[in-house]
């Protein structure tokens, strides 16, 4: 059993190296910005071995806040972060209490940012401000994963936002949503789960380099 587990581990590492080498050679769009509602966008920069040119790394938004954020992106990015002790979402307060992960919560006017992978408010603020200054508004890509209170109505709102390059990762096949990518491995669930860790479930359905190179998600 131990030998099998070690073999499986090394095979995964080899496959990951092959995948990363392949997409790095295939990609020619090097100056893009991905805005995402969770860590997925950050994983793309990591796979391509590129510096983060987005502030939405190591954090997440609840669905309603994310749609507000995208609906008036430059306004919210111009606001200073104000940190709060508690979320306006009760589910967030319960999750933080149950897990013991009292990560920083920041507010930009009336929206919340949950800095899940940051240890302090100072760290969160410094990295957010540094990375937002790198945003390329002329080469912008936006992503929306069906997690954190994301329902059909919010995905439909996202689909109608005025961005050229959009993708929705959903566990359900809503054929009327033009930017939707159906994550078939999550069929029957009401969310796509952790697509940062479980990379293969979206890679099977979505060519991220094709999206970055020519804007097409399908």
Residue 7's pLDDT is 52
Q: Is residue 105, in this structure, part of any structural domain at all?
A: yes
Judged against a pLDDT cut of 60, whether residue 153 lies above it is answered with yes
Residue 192's pLDDT is 96
Name the pTM for this structure.
Answer: 0.91
Average pLDDT over residues 70-93: 97
Start-to-end CA span in the chain (Å): 40
Per-chain mean pLDDT for the chain: 93
Residue 11's pLDDT is 77
Count structural domains, the chain: 1
Judged against a pLDDT cut of 80, whether residue 3 lies above it is answered with no
Domain hosting 94: range is 30-214
Q: Is residue 17, in this structure, part of any structural domain at all?
A: no
Q: What's the Cα-to-Cα distance from 125 to each of 25, 56, 75, 147, rounded to whole Å?
A: 34, 12, 17, 24
Residue 4's pLDDT is 44
Measured at the CA of 21, the angle between CA 17 and CA 22, to 5 degrees, comes to 115
């Amino acid at each position: 059993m131990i030998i099998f587990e070690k073999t499986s581990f090394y095979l995964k590492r080899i496959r990951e190296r092959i995948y990363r080498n392949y997409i790095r050679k295939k990609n020619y769009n090097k100056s893009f910005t991905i805005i995402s509602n969770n860590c997925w966008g950050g994983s793309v920069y990591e796979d391509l071995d590129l510096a983060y040119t987005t502030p939405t790394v190591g954090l997440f938004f609840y669905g309603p806040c994310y749609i507000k954020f995208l609906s008036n992106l430059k306004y919210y990015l111009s606001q200073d972060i104000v940190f709060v002790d508690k979320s306006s979402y009760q589910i967030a307060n319960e999750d933080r209490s149950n897990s013991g992960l009292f990560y920083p919560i920041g507010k930009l006017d009336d929206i919340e940012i949950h800095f899940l992978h940051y240890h302090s408010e100072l760290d969160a603020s410094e990295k957010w401000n540094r990375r937002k200054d790198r945003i390329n508004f002329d080469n912008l890509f936006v992503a929306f994963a069906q997690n954190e209170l994301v329902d059909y109505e919010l995905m439909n709102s996202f689909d109608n936002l005025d961005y050229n390059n959009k993708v929705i990762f959903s566990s359900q096949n809503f054929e009327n949503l033009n930017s939707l990518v159906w994550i078939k491995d999550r069929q029957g669930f009401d969310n796509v789960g952790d697509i940062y860790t479980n990379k293969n479930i979206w890679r099977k359905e979505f060519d991220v380099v094709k999206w970055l190179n020519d804007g097409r998600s399908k």
